[in-house]
Amino acid sequence: MAIEIFSKFSQEVYCSCCPTKERVFGDLKKMRLKKQPHSDYIDYFLKMLSESNLIPDIEDLEEAKSDKKSEEYRKLGNKYFLSHDPHDYVEALKEYNKSACFALSTEHKSTAISNRSAVLFKMEMFPECIESIRLAREFSLPERLKDKLEHREQMCREKLRNEPPEDVLVPMIDLPVNEKIPYIAKCLALRENKKFGRHIIAEEEIPAGTIIALDKPYCQVIVNSHKYIRCTTCLLQVPHLLIPCDTCTQAMFCSMACKEKALKEFHAIECAVSGSLLKLFRPEYLLASRMVVCAYQAFPDTQTMQGALKKMEKEKKTIFNFDCSQELSPEEKYTPIHTLVTNENNHDENYLLPNYVMSCLIFNVFKKGSTIFRQRYLTTREDENFLKNIIFRHCMISFHNANLLSCMTVNSSGPGPGPEDEYGNRISSFTSLINHSCCSNTRCFPIGTSYGMVTIKKIAAGEQIFNTFGIFYTSMELKMRQDEALQVYGFQCKCLACTRNFSMYNDLPEPANLPPFKADLFRNMSPSSQKDKFQKVVEYIRKYGHHYPTKQLVEAESEFVYSFRSMYKDYSLYWRVHMSTKGSLSFVVSQYNKWTPFVVGKP
């Protein structure tokens, strides 16, 4: 839905601007030469979009709670529930959670959550099933459903009685930690020069396979397709724990703590426009709008905020200027975010145009749709111009500093993981200081509510820490990489792979004296088993890494990534269902041949 709306809207905007493209670019260049504020650009496009009737109606994009719709979504969930395709169980979970989110009455809400527990049982997620049953009872469960849930809970406990304890690995930084920034290694230091700007180096040698950071986000957003299986606040994939927002139909939370945190930091403002935000904007713009809300919430009023931002832009503090072992104030948390690079001077009008257009739409959403935001922060024309400038700045910050969040999912065409399942976007004051390399020496992945950074190559003392922005030399030729880095991120890549022009994967050397690293992707998926495989591939990379780049080492790095992510269960529900169906579901199927999902009014 969101993609369709965004694509349709983008196409309409493009068609509207095409006849006057030269004039538009000419006007933008004139404003740029005059160094006009971004608010002037946004006013320019607001006028253009308004004249072309391209400003979306916020009311049309919002959906109110409705027991009728709740029942429709629950019935759709029932259809998925009765499917013979295990992947449809995940779709059933989404529909039951959507039903709970749309429910007005406690009966519809508790029935949807009861049905959710039925799917979880079918998926052999027995602890999760018990948790969902507990929540169903908390929402005034009707008498007629109590015996069924009691029986289901007993069946879960019977299954768990003979099950070994769940295999869970707790991530830890493998080196002494920074006393003031306790989520990064002590040996990581900030440097700044003309060539790389602000960047991070290692002050001592770090071997491959070392976790050097478990970063926490400043803020993060969920994408539309995952809002009914992940928590809006922490983004954990916990569909069995989700409880709906009391007011809107777009947000669900895994606990009262996450619900209260959301209301305090962003959801009180976003609640009334949550549908518009999720349906209109890509993750980068969703994150920009969230940063704007969090920034405003950090200050008592707009006047105070304006003065504070001027000070931030002058001082240019980073996270290394703060003692994060103590609780930071909202203003302190925001300070290193505000001064992240925007690279707007490195981009032409063709790149900036969509950012101005989307800034217009974000401004319109908050002004027209959020009464709280309008009454609190938009009382004068000056306030409106200030907001426009802030929105554009954060759009640029988001595109140049954010981290896309994704997990492994099923490959329908063969063994191994398939395309990444993208579920959110995040930004932090530490990870944003890490520069790009097409052959990076670290990789970053979500681990629970943290963002783990692990070394994939040996890093020498004094060497810069690099991550990848999704541009890899193994799959893209040099010119394509250079063009993408310049056009998308506004810099010319001078990494090792680019300066030495490494061959793409198919043309890499494959020395006969270098043994391959082989692993069976679909052997035991338990975290401890994957940890064993991870340790073996780390040993291989440490032993033969000096031969890089070769086909064998690139393949070993792929295994490194796969096993590391599997250790910490960085995979989708579809993946989990796929792996469970490799075994036997006969017990579950035998029980569910005689069970049906609950329906309001059905005995």
User: What pLDDT, on a 0 to 100 scale, did the predictor assign at position 13?
Assistant: 63
Helices (H), 123-255: 126-138, 143-161
Give the pLDDT band of residue 595 (cuts 50, 70, 90). very low
Q: Read off the pLDDT of residues 193-252 as tens digits, 9 standing for 90 and up.
A: 999 999 999 999 999 999 999 999 999 999 999 999 999 999 999 999 999 999 999 999
What is the DSSP secondary structure assignment for residue 178, as one 8-state letter? P
Show the tokens assigned to 14. Answer: 């493009």
Q: Distance between CA atoms of 433 and 456, rounded to whole angstroms?
A: 18
pLDDT of residue 594: 33
Residue 63 has pLDDT above 50, yes or no: yes
pLDDT (0 to 100) of residue 597: 39
In tens, the pLDDT along 486-504 reads 999 999 999 999 999 999 9
Quick one: pLDDT band at residue 520, thresholds 50, 70, 90?
low
Alpha-carbon gap, residue 564 to 323, rounded angstroms: 30
Place of tokens 């406690």: 106
Scanning 339-490, the segments in alpha helix (DSSP H) are 349-364, 371-377, 381-401, 478-484
Q: What is the largest CA-CA distance in the chain?
A: 74
Contacts 24+ apart (CB under 8 A), 374-382: 376/296, 377/296, 377/302
In whole angstroms, give the CA distance from residue 308 to residue 306. 5
Token pair of 144 as six digits = 């007629």
pLDDT at 256 over 90: yes
Rg (CA), the chain: 25
**What is the predicted pLDDT for the residue at 169?**
85
pLDDT tens-digit profile of 305-335?
999 999 999 999 999 999 999 999 999 999 9
167: β partners: none
Residue 82's nearest CA partner among 70, 72, 91, 73 is: 91
Q: If you search the block for the tokens 């049906």, which residue do you land on?
A: 596
The CATH number fitting domain 188-215+428-571, selected from 2.170.270.10, 3.40.1180.10, 2.60.40.650, 3.90.550.10: 2.170.270.10
Q: How confident is the model at residue 531 (pLDDT cuts 50, 70, 90)?
A: confident
Please compute the mean of the pLDDT values over residues 525-546 and round it to a whole number: 89
Residue 381: pLDDT band (50, 70, 90) is very high
Residue 369 and residue 363: Cα distance in Å, rounded?
A: 10
Q: What is the pLDDT of residues 441-451, one digit of tens each?
A: 999 999 999 99
For the chain, the domains span 188-215+428-571, 220-403
Q: Mean pLDDT over residues 146-153, rounded?
A: 94
User: What is the CB neighbour count within 10 angstroms for residue 152?
Assistant: 22
Query: End-to-end CA distance of the chain, in Å?
Result: 35
Q: Torsions phi, psi of 464, nearest 5?
A: -75, 145
- As a whole number of angstroms, the distance between CA 178 and CA 184 comes to 6
Lowest mean pLDDT among 38-47, 58-67, 156-165, 333-342: 156-165
Detail the DSSP E strand segments found in 428-507: 435-436, 442-447, 450-455, 466-467
The helix/strand count (H/E) of the chain reads as: 24, 12
Mean pLDDT of the region 253-260: 97
Report the alpha-carbon distance of residue 377 to residue 368 in Å, rounded: 13
